Amino acid sequence: MKTAQLHFLLDGRDIRLDRVSPTTTLLNWLREDEGRTGTKEGCAEGDCGACTVVVAEARNGELVWRSVNACIQFLPTLHGKALFTVESLRASEGGLHPAQTAMVSCHGSQCGFCTPGFVMSLFGLYQTEAAPDGDAVADALSGNLCRCTGYRPIIDAAQAMYRLPAPGGKLPAPQWQNASDPAAQALLDRLVHMNADDVTLDLVHADSRFTAPRSLDEFASCVARHPDATILAGSTDIGLWITKQFRRLPHLIYLGRVRELTSLSETGGWLDIGAAVTLEDAFEAILPHYPELTELWRRFASRPIRNAGTLCGNIANGSPIGDSMPALIAIGAEVVLRHGDRTRALPLEALYLGYQKKDLAPGEFVQCVRIPLARGPLDEHLIRAWKISRRHDQDISAVFAGFSLTHHHGVVSSARLAFGGMAATPKRASHAEATLIGRPFDDAALSDARAALALDFQPLSDMRASAEYRMTVAQNLLTRLHHELAGHPTRIDNVEADHGQH
C-alpha cells in the first residue's frame, strides 16, 4: 500500500499536500507557501535556531514534543506528525503563551530576529519539563543564538514562564500540567489514528522521489533495489546538501517511519539502538548504563539537532570529527549492517576503512548500533569521553577522546583509547594502548603512552585547530586521565567562582 499524499497537522488543522518537492524545507514551506513568516532564517544550516519550531508525535501512547530546526527539515518528514510554529502559540482570544509573556517581561528580545526561535525552544521546554533547573534551561536553549541580549534575560524568562498562569486557548497542555487535558488527548488520538496504517509514503515530484516505508523488510528491500538512493534520517547533515550545496537528490528513502528502526531494546547483554532513534532518545537509554557519557550527550549538539539527528546517522556518516564514534568504540559498541534480508555485525571501529570510506556495500545500511551492557565495577573500569571544541554548546570537535581503561590491583588489564579529529576516520590509538597494558598507569606509563600517540596519529591543521594543538591536546587528555586517577580536579565545568565576603 502506498500513498502519494503528505499529511500532517498544523495548529490542529489537516495539511494534505499532493505536489511537493521532497527536498522543500519546512522553513521555506512555512515562509513562502503558508506566509507564516514568524519563523526566521538565520543560517539555513541548523546552527542558529532562528527557525526553531516544535513537532509533536505519538509515541508509545504518549505525546512527545520536540524542538527542531525547520531550515534543514524536509517537509515530507513531517508526515504523521503535528507542527507548531510561533504563530500557533497565540491563543484564540489573542493572549500570549507564558513563554511569550515571560520574554516580554524579562526584556528577552532586542532586535527580535532570533526571538521566535527562542520562544519555540521555551515552548518545547514548557511542554516537556515541569521544573527545569539551570542546566536543563541551558540545554533547551543550546541551539539558539542571540547576538543582542547576552542571554541572561532569556534564561530568566525560562524560569519566569513557570510562575505564570497556564495558557488558555486550544493549545494542548503539557502532561505535567494537566494529565487529562482534552486538547492533548484529542491530538494524541488523531496522531495515533494518522499513524495506524502500514502505508508507505511515496512522493514523486518532477524528477525527484521520497519513499518512506513502514516496515524494516520493505525498507531493506527498497534500499537494496535502489542502491544509489540517499538514505535519510534526521537530515541534520543531508539538509545542508540542499540548502548550502544545491545538490540534487533524486531519490530519498526515509527511515524515520520504519517501526522496527525507531525501537530500542535490551537483549542478551546488549542495548540495540535502531537507525531511526534520535540522539536524544539514544542517550536517554545509554546514560543509565554509562553516566560518564553525560558530557558527550550534552555537548554532542544543540537540543534541536539531537531531537532530529540519529545516533546511527552519526555512525553511518562516519565523519572523522563525528563525536559519538570515539566514545562508542571505546566502550566496545558494534554495528549491525543489513543488506536485503542478510545482516552482519561488526565492531564499530571496523566499519571505517578510510576517509569517507566504509565497509558498507551498495544497498547495505546501518540497521542498529549495539551497546554492551556488561561493564566492570566503576572503581576498576574507567570510562571517559571528552570533547575539545571552541564552544561548549553546539560545536564541532577539534579533538574528541573516548577512553575505556580497566585496571586490577593497580595494573592496567585493558585499554581502549579512541580519538576523533586526529585521523581520516575515528580511530583507536593502538600504539598508545599497547604501552599501557600490563603495567601500572604511573608517570612512566603516561610518558610512554604520550610518546606512542605520535606513532598513532598525524593530525591535520584546519580552521578548528592546528595539527600541533590536536596532538598536544590528545596527549594531554591522557595526562588528564592520569590526574583523574589521582583524584585531582581537572574540569573547568566543575569549578566555582570565589564568593568572597559578600
Contacts of other proteins in 397-416 (CB under 8 A):
398
Task: By CB under 8 A, tell whether 19 contacts other proteins.
Answer: no
Contact between 479 and other proteins by CB under 8 A: the answer reads yes
9 binds other proteins (CB under 8 A): no
Query: What element of type H or E holds 231?
Result: strand 230-232
Q: Which is nearer to other proteins, 275 or 481 (CB)?
A: 481
Which of 407, 427, 450, 480 touches other proteins (CB under 8 A)?
Answer: 480
Would you say 202 or 393 has its CB closer to other proteins? 393
Stretch of 1-9, 273-281, 282-290, 481-489 lying at the interface with other proteins (CB under 8 A): 481-489
11 binds other proteins (CB under 8 A): no
10 Å Cβ neighbour count for 185? Answer: 15
- CA atoms of 302 and 324, how far apart (whole Å): 14
92: contact with other proteins by CB under 8 A: no
* Contact stretch for other proteins (CB under 8 A) within 161-169, 211-219, 371-379, 492-500: 492-500
For residue 210, which amino acid is it?
F
Among 103, 224, 316, 383, binds other proteins (CB under 8 A): 103
Q: Does 38 bind other proteins (CB under 8 A)?
A: yes
Residue 468 Cβ, how far from other proteins at the closest point, in Å?
A: 9
C-alpha cell, 47:
546552527
Task: Give the residue with the Cβ less far from other proteins, 257 or 303.
Answer: 303
The answer to whether the CB of 73 falls within 8 A of the CB of 239 is yes
Q: Does 35 bind other proteins (CB under 8 A)?
A: yes
Q: How far is the CB of 128 from other proteins (least distance, A)?
A: 17
Residues 226-255, one symbol each (x = binds other proteins by CB under 8 A, - = not), give ------------------x-x---------
CB 418 within 8 A of CB 339: no
Strand partners, 272: 265, 370
Among 52, 69, 77, 100, binds other proteins (CB under 8 A): 100
CA distances from 138 to 148, 149, 254, 492 (A): 17, 15, 31, 17
Min dist CB 391 to other proteins, Å, is: 4
Q: Cβ(335)–Cβ(351) under 8 Å? A: yes
Residue pair 343/360 in contact (Cβ under 8 Å)? The answer is no
Query: Which is nearest to 429 in space by CA: 401, 462, 399, 470?
Result: 401
Near other proteins in 106-145, by CB under 8 A: 107-116, 119, 138, 141-142, 144-145
Could you count the other beta carbons within 10 Å of the beta carbon of residue 434?
15
Nearer to other proteins, 343 or 466 (CB): 466
Q: Is 50 in the site for other proteins (CB under 8 A)?
A: yes
Question: Is the CB of residue 443 less than 8 Å from the CB of residue 485?
Answer: no
- Which cell numbers in the block locate residue 477? 587528555
Q: What are phi and psi of 320, to 5 degrees?
A: -65, -15
Nearest to 43 by CA among 83, 77, 70: 70
Name the residue nearer to other proteins (CB basis): 202 or 295.
295
Contacting residues for 407 by C-beta, under 8 A, at least 6 apart? 380, 382, 413, 440, 441
Closer CB to other proteins, 13 or 499, in the complex: 499
Q: What is the footprint of other proteins within residues 164-223 (CB under 8 A)?
A: none
Looking at residues 446 to 465 of the shown chain, list those that interact with other proteins (rule: CB under 8 A). Answer: 462-465
Residue 11 Cβ, how far from other proteins at the closest point, in Å?
Answer: 13
Contact flag: residue 45 with other proteins (CB under 8 A): yes
Q: Please state the closest distance from residue 116 (CB atom) to other proteins, in A.
A: 4
Q: Is 93 in the site for other proteins (CB under 8 A)?
A: no
- Residue labelled with grid coordinates 579529529: 421
Asked if 473 interacts with other proteins (CB under 8 A), we say yes
396 binds other proteins per the rule CB under 8 A: yes
Rounded Cα–Cα distance for residues 470 and 34 (Å): 47
**Site membership for other proteins, residue 150 (CB under 8 A):** yes
Q: Which three cell numbers stand for residue 451?
A: 610518546
39 binds other proteins, rule: CB under 8 A: yes
Q: How many Å from the N-terminal Cα to the C-terminal Cα in the chain?
A: 70
> Nearest approach, Cβ of 223 to other proteins (angstroms)?
28
Distance CA 82, CA 96 (A): 21
C-alpha to C-alpha distances, 271 to 220, 289, 318, 330, 371, nearest whole angstrom: 22, 10, 21, 16, 5
Beta carbon of residue 236, minimum distance to other proteins (angstroms, whole number): 11
The residue within the footprint of other proteins, chosen from 18, 33, 62, 148 (CB under 8 A), is 148
Any idea which residue has 537509554 for its cell?
A: 285
Q: How many other C-beta atoms can be found within 10 angstroms of the C-beta atom of residue 318? A: 20
- Binding region for other proteins (CB under 8 A) out of 179-187, 249-257, 369-377, 479-487: 479-487
What is the CA 43 to chain-centroid distance, rounded? 18
Closer to other proteins by Cβ: residue 294 or 466: 466
Q: Which of residues 141 and 369 has its CB atom nearest to other proteins in the complex?
A: 141
Identify which of 258, 292, 294 has the alpha carbon closest to the alpha carbon of residue 277.
258
